């Protein structure tokens, strides 16, 4: 009850930006944390925050549910809301570990189920909210950019918009290539995650190109794509190729290249832009 009251009531800024919670995950077999960045005091004329949008901000590889505080981004997002640069929203930062937000090929780790069936309901319950698709959004950076597209396109009934910032995106062919790179096992058990590259049905089910192409326009979440002009070429190409594909297919999206590299300092203003786009306060989708 206390968490729900905290989520609804408008109040002054807190010295502690992120409010921590835990979710008991059956999909992963352990408890994992998520954090919530509460909005500033309600705007003039608004008595509570019940009607605000919820933005799920997915971290990159090596990040965690506290990355927004650790990188100083939570302060910037709070101030951006207080100053009116972006709308007031709830920002939820789950811990996605290093799982790429997908159910692994060997079935041992089910990050997609963990997010959609456990984290999102737990966060909204903690906030005391019952919301529909129109107020739920995904924004991700790096690995989280891949996760935002994957989750949003596999579960379009849940999300109004998805944003991939510097996303480490891969299609079926790239996934098969990654599965064969044994050196990646030093950081992640790539075979457990993707298989040996021969299971085309699995790879196709997690291919953002196929997922977005199959979705009728009326069911498709609005899409925001961004990459940094100073990022490594492989990451630039991962996003620009997906952008080019969307253009060729006539799929509308917001395209937002930015001057910067693959780091939180560069991502901070782009996250603000993505939040504005998510809530309908950004540029027209094209």
Domains along the chain with CATH numbers: 2-171+207-278 (3.40.50.1820)
Over residues 2-48, the pLDDT tens digits come to 333 334 344 444 445 899 999 999 999 999 999 999 998 755 545 45
Distance CA 95, CA 188 (A): 16
> Is the model's pLDDT at 275 over the cut of 60?
yes
pLDDT band at 93 (very low <50, low <70, confident <90, very high): very high
Q: Determine the average pLDDT of the residues in 92-116.
A: 97
Instruction: Let me know: does 128 contact 8? Beta carbons within 8 Å.
Output: yes
What is the per-residue pLDDT for 50?
73
Which pair of structure tokens corresponds to residue 144?
Answer: 């989280």
Kindly state the tokens that stand for 246.
Answer: 């969307």
CA angle 206, 237, 204 (to 5 degrees): 15
Q: How far from chain centre, in Å, is Cα 39?
A: 18
Residues 6+ apart with CB under 8 A from 280: none
Radius of gyration for the alpha carbons in the chain, expressed in angstroms and rounded: 18
Q: Give the mean pLDDT of 264-278.
A: 97
* Of 42, 38, 111, the residue nearest 69 (C-alpha): 38
Element (H, E) at 222: strand 222-226
pLDDT at res. 170: 82
pLDDT of residue 88: 93
Beta-bridge partners for 228: 258
207-259 pLDDT tens trace: 999 999 999 999 999 999 999 999 999 889 999 999 999 999 999 999 999 99
pLDDT tens digits for 71-81? Answer: 999 999 999 99
pLDDT of residue 2: 31
Report DSSP state, residue 22.
Answer: E
Residue 55: per-residue pLDDT? 98
Cα–chain-centroid distance for residue 67? Answer: 13
Per DSSP bridges, beta strands 30-37 and 18-25 are antiparallel
Q: What average pLDDT does range 164-184 have in this prediction?
A: 75
Q: pLDDT at position 178, please?
A: 73
Q: Closest Cα partner for 244 from 211, 236, 234, 221?
A: 236
């Amino acid at each position: 009850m206390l968490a729900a009251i905290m989520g609804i009531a408008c109040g002054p800024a807190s010295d502690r930006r992120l409010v921590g919670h835990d979710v008991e995950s059956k999909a992963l077999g352990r408890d994992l944390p998520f954090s919530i960045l509460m909005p500033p005091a309600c705007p003039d004329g608004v008595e509570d925050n019940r009607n605000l949008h919820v933005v799920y901000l997915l971290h990159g590889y090596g990040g965690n549910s506290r990355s927004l505080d650790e990188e100083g981004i939570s302060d910037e997002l709070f101030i951006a809301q207080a100053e009116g640069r972006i709308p007031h929203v709830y920002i939820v930062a789950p811990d996605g570990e290093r799982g790429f937000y997908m159910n692994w090929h060997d079935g041992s780790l089910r990050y997609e189920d963990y997010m959609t069936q456990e984290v999102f309901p737990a966060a909204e319950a903690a906030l005391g909210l019952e919301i529909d698709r129109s107020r739920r959004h995904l924004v991700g950076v790096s690995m989280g950019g891949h996760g935002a597209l994957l989750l949003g396109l596999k579960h379009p009934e849940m999300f109004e918009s998805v944003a991939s910032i510097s996303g480490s995106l891969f299609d079926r062919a790239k996934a098969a290539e990654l599965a064969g790179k044994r050196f990646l096992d030093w950081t992640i058990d790539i075979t457990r995650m993707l298989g040996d590259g021969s299971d085309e049905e699995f790879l196709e089910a997690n291919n953002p190109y196929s997922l977005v192409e199959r979705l009728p326009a009326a069911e498709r979440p609005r899409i925001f794509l961004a990459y940094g002009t100073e990022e490594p070429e492989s990451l630039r190409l991962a996003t620009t190729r997906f952008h080019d594909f969307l253009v060729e297919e006539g799929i509308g999206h917001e395209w937002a290249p930015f001057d910067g590299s693959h780091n939180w300092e560069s991502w901070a203003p782009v996250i603000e832009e993505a939040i504005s786009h998510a809530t309908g306060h950004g540029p027209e989708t094209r």
